[in-house]
Amino acid sequence: MDILLSSIVAGLLLGMVLAIVALGLTIIFGVMDIVNFAHGEFLMIGMYTGLLTAQATGIDPLLTLPFAALVGFLLGVLCYYGFVKFLLRGPMIAQLLGTFGLMLLLRNLALLIFGSEDRALHHGILVGRSFDLGMGVILPATKLAAAAFSVVAFWGVWMLMHRTKIGKALRATALSAQAARYMGIPTERMNALAWGIGCGTVCIAGALIVNFWSVSPFIGLLFTMIAFAIVALGGFGSVPGAFFAGLVVGLITEIPGFWDFFTYTFNVDWMANVPMTSFKYMWVYLAYFLIMVIRPRGLFGWKQ
């Protein structure tokens, strides 16, 4: 029972963290229909920003969040005006490969500047602390803080999208860029804003994740794929969908834990011999594939 409960809690916590990683991707996809392969690279940049600012200034890693958000926002806007704007004129294949080129560029720039070794954060008020809730459930403080910030970020983005004029303009651009242009909405600036918000949130996610995950220039692709799966599951362009899909994917990554639980509960020999941990992310990709085949617009999708 302990394993089951701790697996569920760990899965939900990780799910909230993964959801905030996917938030930016779903905003960018929703507003301008572009699949961003470089998404994980922005996460990596956020992680390095958080790590290096915390190490250079000696302040607590959590206080670097606004700085990471600013870096992400500016970088996103810069990427839009410098590069993505030109991609949008081309066919879909050029958009896919163009963002792949951006991914290679950012990853190797990071490799050139920071070197290839893993780096981790060793100080901060949250690092190394945890709450023991009994029943085998242990909540690491870093993950708990990240999950809490994720909820706040989702609430903020939802409020922005649904309660402000800018959000209305963003949603109008997402529905039909041409009609929005006729209504006097500066769609170009809305696209740039979407890139800014998207990259800003993912950099916040990076600065949170670096508290419990070591960073290297190659970390991006794994998160990009997981974020794709979450966005596909939740529906392309849907903000609440991304949150719930994040929880689902978090639980899916805990399948090895559930497997152990059933192995011990029913005492089945053959189940103990399956190397479940090596399939950890395969279930995520499988869920992603199945949802694409069965319901391509996702669980909460509103865009056809």
Give the C-alpha separation, 43 to 22, whole Å.
10
CB of residue 283 to another protein, shortest distance in Å: 9
In the bound state with another protein, the residue whose beta carbon lies nearer, of 111 and 125, is: 111
Tokens read off for 138: 């242990």
Instruction: State yes or no: residue 272 binds another protein (CB under 8 A).
Output: no
User: What's the one-letter identity of residue 282?
Assistant: M
- From 53-61, 89-97, 133-141, 243-251, span contacting another protein (CB under 8 A): 89-97
Task: Candidates 116, 130, 164, 265: give the one binding another protein (CB under 8 A).
Answer: 116
Question: Exactly one of 95, 201, 211, 238 binds another protein (CB under 8 A); which one?
Answer: 95
Contact 259, 272 (CB under 8 A): no
273 binds another protein (CB under 8 A): no
Alpha-carbon distance values, 98 to 37, 74, 104, 216 (Å): 9, 20, 10, 23
Burial code (b: 16+ CB inside 10 Å, e: under 16) for 123-147 equals ebebbeeeeeeeeeeebbbbbbbbb
Beta bridge partners of 215: 119
| Distance separating alpha carbons of residues 145 and 158, to the nearest angstrom | 20
Shortest distance (Å) from residue 218 CB to another protein: 11
> Phi and psi at residue 261, in whole multiples of 5°?
-60, -50
Closer to another protein by CB, 258 or 281: give it: 281
Q: How far is CA 200 from CA 62, 105, 242, in A?
A: 15, 19, 16
Nearer to another protein, 108 or 164 (CB): 108
Binds another protein (CB under 8 A): choice among 102, 177, 203, 208: 102
Any contact of residue 176 with another protein (CB under 8 A)?
no
**Which of 67, 81, 100, 302 lies at the binding interface for another protein (CB under 8 A)?**
100
CB of 134 to another protein, least distance (A): 35
The alpha carbon of 196 is separated from its chain's Cα centroid by a whole number of angstroms, namely 15
**Count, residues near another protein per rule CB under 8 A:** 45
Calculate the CA dihedral of residues 171, 176, 177, 179 and round it to 10 degrees: -110
Q: Is 81 in the site for another protein (CB under 8 A)?
A: no
Residue 86 burial class via C-beta count within 10 angstroms: exposed 0-12, middle 13-18, buried 19 and up: exposed
**Binding flag, residue 156, another protein (CB under 8 A):** no
With binding defined as CB under 8 A, does residue 96 bind another protein? yes
Task: Note whether 278 binds another protein by CB under 8 A.
Answer: yes
Which of 67, 81, 83, 158 is in the footprint of another protein by CB under 8 A?
Answer: 83
- Biggest CA-to-CA distance, the chain: 67
Residues 235-254 that bind another protein (CB under 8 A): 236
Q: Is 101 in the site for another protein (CB under 8 A)?
A: yes
Which residues of this chain interact with another protein, rule CB under 8 A? 33, 35, 83, 86-87, 90-98, 100-105, 107-109, 111-112, 115-116, 221, 225, 228-229, 232, 236, 275, 278-279, 281-282, 285-286, 288-289, 292-293, 296
